[in-house]
Amino acid sequence: MNTNRIVPISRHTHDESLRDLLKKLNIGMTPPEARKIVSILGRDPHIVELFIFDIEWSEHCSYKSSRSTLKKYLPTDAPNVILGPGEDSGIIRFTDALDGETYSIVIAHESHNHPSQVLPVEGAATGIGGIVRDVDCMGAHVCAVADGLRFGNPAGAQPARTRWIIRGVVDGIWQYGNAMGVPNLAGDVYFDDSFDDNCLVNVVSLGIVKTSRIIRSRVPTEARNEPYDLILAGKPTDSSGFGGVTFASDILDASQDDKRRGAVQVHDPFIKNILIMRKANRAVLDLAFERDIPIGMKDLGGGGLACASSEICSASGFGAEIDLDCVHTSMDDLPPEVIACGETQERFIFAVPRSFTREVLDIYNTVWELPAEANGAGARCIGRVLEEPIYRIRHHGEVVCEAPIEQITSGIRYERADCECRHEGMEPEGLPPDNLADALLSILGSLNGCSRLPIYRHYDTEVQGAAVLRPGEADAGVIAPLELTENCPAGIALSVDGNPNVGAIDPYWGGATAVAEAMRNVVATGAIPRALTDCLNYGNPENPSAFRQFVDGVRGIADAARQLSQLDLPDAPVAVVSGNVSFYNESAQGLAIKPSPIVACVGTMPDFARAMTIHFKNPGNRIILVGERRPELGGSAYYRIVRGVDGTKPLTVKWREERAAMAAVHTLISHGYACACHDISDGGFATALAEMCLSHRRTRLLGAHVVFTQPPIPADQFLFAETGGFILEIPPDHLKECTAILNASGGVWYDCGCVTETPELLIEIAQTARIHLPVQDMRLAWLRGLEEIV
Amino acid sequence: MNQSDPITIAVIQYPGTNCEYETASAVEAAGMSAEIFRWNRHPEELIRFDGYVLAGGFSYQDRVRAGAIAAKKQIIGTLIREAAIGKPVLGICNGAQILIESGLVPGNHPGHVEMSLASNAAAGWRGYFCDWVYLRCQEKGASGAFNLDFTPGEIIPMPVAHAEGRFVSSDPALLDRITQSDQIAFRYCDAEGRYQPSFPINPNGSFLNAAGIYNPEGNVLAFMPHPERAAWMRQIPLDLDGSLRTATLEHCRMPGPGLRFFTSMKRFISNRRTGR
C-alpha cells in the first residue's frame, strides 16, 4: 500500500486530535469507531478502507441505532411473504395467472430527505431513481411509484425557500418518473412548519415478477464450481454523490448547504430507461433464464461500488477482488476512494459466470450502444468473485483495500438510550363555532385539506397502460399489471400514509394510525391489505427523547400490523416486508421534525373491475357511515385549522372494531353491493362526505343529504373527529344485504341519508347543527388550496 | 401482396421510448401483428412492414428539442421513403415530436422541419401535464388513415401526458394551409364538443386546439394524446362526464375509443391492398 495514503489513526491518542483529523478528511465516524477499524485490520487503514468502513458503519447503511428495535418489534413474516427485509426489496405472493405462472409483488420504500432539502430537483429525482433500482434488481418489472411528501409551511418563516423546495421536489419526481416510464399512482402530502428546515421525500416503488424468476442480490453458490466475474453496468462513474451516505446520517445545517450539494447525486432517467424498462437488464435476465445460467444482481445505491460489490459477495460467503482501473469513468484521475464509494446513479452490478460475461457486455455496449448513445455509459468487467471471504480493491496495480469481507458488511450496533417526551398540548377553549359550514369550507380549502391535483397532474399516471384508479379517483391507486400481458384481472392497490400531527401528540399512535389509515385506504378500493413498508423519519437518535419517539412509533406500527392482520387470515399479520430508517431529521438549531412514520400498504384484489372509487354515482342511493365517532380530536384538521390548537387526546385505533369495519366493507365491495366508498381520515366525516361530491373532472356534480338524530358526542366533534371509518354509497336494492353484513360485524353504523340530484351538501344533526353548502362552492375552495404554491 | 397476408406493424423503439409495449398491445388488439423495432437495427429490415408507429416516451431525454435527435437517426430516412409510397405512419406524443422534427408532418417537404411542438403555454399551468381531455374528430369526415373508424365530429375522451405539445409555426400561411386542407385530424374540446381555447380544455395552448395533424396525403399523423392508453374501456376514468365504464370485467375488456386509431390503420392498409 502507498504509505502516503495510510491514515495514521493510531498516532492520534487523544479523541480531540483524531476528531479533527476525521473531520478534515470528511469522515463521519467517531474516534472510537475509527480505532475499531485499526483493531480489525491490525494496522492503520488506507484512505479507501477508511471511507468504506465509514459508509458501511453509517446509520444509513448499518441501521446501527435502529436495528435492534426493528428486530424486536416488527412482524416481518406471514404465509404470503416470499422475502422480508434484508435485501433491496421485500417480496410477497400476488396471483396465479392463466399461463400457469405464479406472480409476486416486489416493493421497496426509502427516504431521500436531506438531498431534497438542499437540491430539491436532484434529490427527489434520485430518490425515485434509487427506489426503482431496488425493485428492478430483484428481477421485477417496475410498474408503479408513489411518494410520501412532507413540506414546510409555504406561508411560514421561509416562504421563498419552502416554495422552491416544493416546486423542485415535484419537478424532480415528474422529470424522473415520467421520463423513465413508470406511473405515479399514490402518495400523500402534508405541510407543516416543523418541516421548514427538513422536508421529507419518501419514495415507494412496486414491481411484478414471475415467482420462478426472482433474482437475488447475492452471488450464486455455483461460483464455488466455476469462475464468476463482477460486471458493472450503467452510467460512467463520476465524482457526484461522494459522501452521500454520511450526509444522510448527519443533522442538516443550512450554513453547510453549499458544501453538501456535492454529496447529492445527479439523475439520468434516460440511461435508467435503457437499463430497466424492459430493455438491457431484461435482455440479460431473459438470456440467463433461457439458458439456465445462475446470476446475481444488485443495484448501486448508498456507498456506491464498494457497498454493492462487498454485499453481493458476502451475502453468500464469497469474497471479491475489484480493479478500479477497469471501471468506466467520465473523468480522468478520479481518486480511488471516489471510484469505490461515489454514488453515481444509474448503475448495477452483476455476478455472472465468466463464460457468460462477453454476451452480457455486448447487450449493453453493442445491442443498446450505451457508450455512443448515452455519454460513455456501458458495461465493464470490473472484478471477480473470490472463494475466500476477502474484500480486496486494486488501483493502479496497488492494493488499496484488503479486509475480511464480513467485517466490512456486518456493520456495528448501538443500544441507544431513550427517555419519555411529553407533548404539551391544549384543548380548545370556549364554544365551538356557530357556523360549521364555514369550518368545513376552511378545512377543504386548507393546505392539508385541499385537492392534490396541482401536484399529481404533473405525474404520468397512464404510462404502461395498466392504471385502473388514479390519484384523486379513489383512496388508493389501483393497477392491473397483468391484464395486458397475461389477461389476468388481478389488481394491486397501493396507499401511502402517516399523519405527522398525530405522531406529534403521541408517537405510538402516530405509527399505529399510519398503518390503520394505509390499510383502510386499500380496503376502500375493495382490496385486502397484504403487506406494509415503512419509512421511519425521526430526529437525532443520540437524543434520548427523539430515540423514544422512534421506538414508540415502531411499536405502534408493529401492534397495528399484528392486530389488524390480513382480513382473510386472522392469524397472519400484514407483514412489514421492506423499509428504511431516516434519522437526523433536524436542523442545526436542534429543531426536529414531527415524528413521521410513513407507511405504505399494498393490497390485492382478484378482479380490478370491481375496484371502488370515492365519487357518488346515482341520486337516491343510500349513504352509510361505518364506524363510531370518538372524541379524540388531538392533531385533527378541525382543531388545528378551526380551533387553533393541537389538542391533547390523540387519534387512536380500536383494533377489534377497526378490523371488523374493514372486513365488513371489504365483503360489501367484493359482493358488488357498494358503488362508492371513501375512508374517513383528515377532516373527519364531514370532509369525507364533501369529497365524495367533489371531482375535478366532473361538470355534473351530485349532492348529499344526511341526518343524525342522536349523535353520541357534540355535533362539531361528531362531524370532524378523524376516528377511522368508511362512508359507502349503497343502491336501495342492496340495502338489505348491506344491513345484514354490517349488523353481523358488530360495529356501529348509520344509514344516514342519500345522494341527491341537487349539487348541495346538507348535513343535519339533531336540532343542534346544520351544514348547507353548494358543492360548487366547496369545489372552488378545494381546487384553489394549492394554487400559486406548486 | 396477398389480401390475406397478416398485416404487420413496426413499433419503433428508441433509447428513452417508454410506451412501446402497450402500443404494441393496442396494435395487436386491433387485429394486426406488432413487432417492437429497435432504432439501430438495419433500416432495410423496416421495409417489410405494412405500417409504422413511433411510440411515446422521452427519446434521447428530449435533448436539444423533444424528438430532435431521434429524427436524425438513419431509421427516419427509411420511414420517409416508406411514407412516400403511402404506408401509414402514426407518431404518438414523443413519436409526434419526432415526425415534426423529421418534417414528415405537416409534410410539404419531408426531411425539412416546418413546424415545432413547443412547450405547453397554458395560463394556470407550468411544465408537464397529465390528465384526460376530450377530442373531437374532424367534422367533414376523415382526411387520413387514422380516423376512418370515427364518425365525423365524434367526441372521445383520451389522456394527454406531455410538456411540449403546442403545435406552432412561425409561418402563418402554413397554419392556414394546414387548416384549409383539413390536416387537423382531432381538436381538443369540452365534453360537449366546444373548442374552448382555455386550459385545461386545451391543455397546451395549441393553435385551433389542434391535437393531431396529418401530412397532406393523410397517411402520416402526428398525434399528441395517447390512443393506446384509451384502447380498452378499463382505462377510462369513472369520474369523466359521460364515462360509460361499468364495474364488470366483461365491459372493462371491451375496446375503448383509442383502439379505433389502430383499427382505422388496419382498414387503411387493407384498402391499400385492394386498391380502394
In B, minimum Cα distance to A364 occurs at: B15
Helix (H, G, I), strand (E, B) or coil at A749: strand
Q: Does B80 touch chain A (CB under 8 A)?
A: no
One of A60, A109, A114, A328 is an active-site residue; which one?
A60
Contact A609 B249 (CB under 8 A): yes
Q: What is the pLDDT of residue A258?
A: 65
Rounded CA-CA distance A107/A110 in Å is 10
DSSP A221-255: GGGGTS-EEEEEEESPB-STTTTHHHHHTS-B-GG
Question: For residue A388, is it left (φ>0), alpha (ψ between -120 and 50) or beta?
Answer: beta
Sequence-distant (6+) residues with CB within 8 A of A340 are A48, A51, A52, A304, A305, A306, A322, A324, A393, A400, A401
Contact A698 B240 (CB under 8 A): yes
> Which three three-digit cell numbers place residue A126?
434520485
Domain covering B8-274 assigned CATH 3.40.50.880 in the classification: yes
* Residues A694, A696, A701: CA angle, nearest 5 degrees: 45
> Computed over its alpha carbons, how large is the radius of gyration of chain B?
17
Amino acid at B170: S
* Candidate from B131, B241, B247 with C-beta closest to A457: B131
CA dihedral A143, A148, A153, A154 (to 10 degrees): 0
Burial string for A216-230 (b: 16+ CB within 10 Å, else e) reads bbbbbeebeeeebbb
| pLDDT under 50: residue ranges of chain A | none
Q: How far is CA A633 from the centre of its chain?
A: 27
Judge contact between A572 and A54, C-beta under 8 A: no
Sequence-distant (6+) residues with CB within 8 A of A265 are A115, A122, A126, A129, A240, A241, A244, A343, A344, A345
Burial of residue B250 (CB within 10 Å: 0-12, 13-18, 19+) is exposed
> Which three three-digit cell numbers place residue A654?
380500536
Contact B128 A458 (CB under 8 A): yes
How many residue pairs bridge chain A and chain B with CB atoms within 8 Å of each other? 126
Average per-residue pLDDT for chain B:
95
pLDDT tens digits along B121-158: 988 898 999 999 999 999 999 899 999 999 999 999 99
Helix (H, G, I), strand (E, B) or coil at A449: coil
Candidates A460, A614, A701, partner chain B, best to mutate (most B CBs within 10 A)? A460
Does B110 sit behind a cis peptide bond, omega within 30 degrees of 0 on the bond before it? no
Q: Does B151 touch chain A (CB under 8 A)?
A: no
* pLDDT confidence band for B259 (50 / 70 / 90): very high
Map out the domains of chain A as residue ranges. 3-59, 415-442+612-790
Number of Cβ within 10 Å of residue A333's Cβ equals 6
Which among A748, A747, A678, A745 is positioned nearest to A711, based on CA atoms? A748
Q: What is the pLDDT of residue B2?
A: 67
Sequence-distant (6+) residues with CB within 8 A of A28 are A22, A54, A58, A246, A249, A250
* pLDDT confidence band for B215 (50 / 70 / 90): very high
Judge contact between A422 and A507, C-beta under 8 A: no
Judge contact between A476 and A495, C-beta under 8 A: yes
Map out the domains of chain B as residue ranges. 8-274
Q: Are strands B51-54 and B8-13 parallel, antiparallel or unpaired?
A: parallel
Half-sphere exposure of B259 (CA within 13 A, CB side): 17
* Candidate from B21, B235, B248 with C-beta closest to A278: B21
Q: What is the pLDDT of residue B1?
A: 55
Contacts of A674 in chain B (CB under 8 A): none
One of A109, A112, A114, A734 is an active-site residue; which one?
A112
Number of Cβ within 10 Å of residue A370's Cβ equals 26
Annotated catalytic sites of B, by residue?
A: 93, 226, 228
Rounded CA-CA distance A91/A104 in Å is 7
- The mean pLDDT of B37-62, rounded to a whole number, is 96
> Which three three-digit cell numbers place residue B197?
381555447
Q: Does B18 touch chain A (CB under 8 A)?
A: yes
Contacts of B26 in chain A (CB under 8 A): 465
Rounded CA-CA distance A276/A293 in Å is 20
Rounded CA-CA distance A730/A754 in Å is 9
Contact B161 A273 (CB under 8 A): no
Rounded CA-CA distance A313/A308 in Å is 9
* Candidate from B22, B61, B238 with C-beta closest to A473: B238
Which among B272, B227, B264, B271 is positioned nearest to B30, based on CA atoms? B264
Q: For residue A228, list its beta bridge partners.
A: A353
Q: What is the pLDDT of residue B4?
A: 76
pLDDT tens digits along A74-110: 999 999 999 999 899 999 999 998 888 999 999 999 9
Contacts of A368 in chain B (CB under 8 A): 15
Judge contact between A176 and A125, C-beta under 8 A: yes
> Computed over its alpha carbons, how large is the radius of gyration of chain A?
27
> Which CATH architecture best describes the domain A415-442+612-790?
Alpha-Beta Complex (3.90)
Candidates B23, B25, B131, B253, partner chain A, best to mutate (most A CBs within 10 A)? B131
Q: For residue A771, list its beta bridge partners.
A: A763
Rounded CA-CA distance B94/A481 in Å is 23
A46 is a catalytic site residue: no
- Number of H-type helices and E-type strands within chain B: 6, 11
pLDDT tens digits along B8-47: 999 999 999 999 999 999 999 999 999 999 999 999 999 9
More reliable by pLDDT, B218 or B3: B218
Judge contact between A782 and A444, C-beta under 8 A: yes
> Which three three-digit cell numbers place residue A615?
365519487
The crossing angle, in degrees rounded to 10, of helices A354-362 and A280-290 is 140
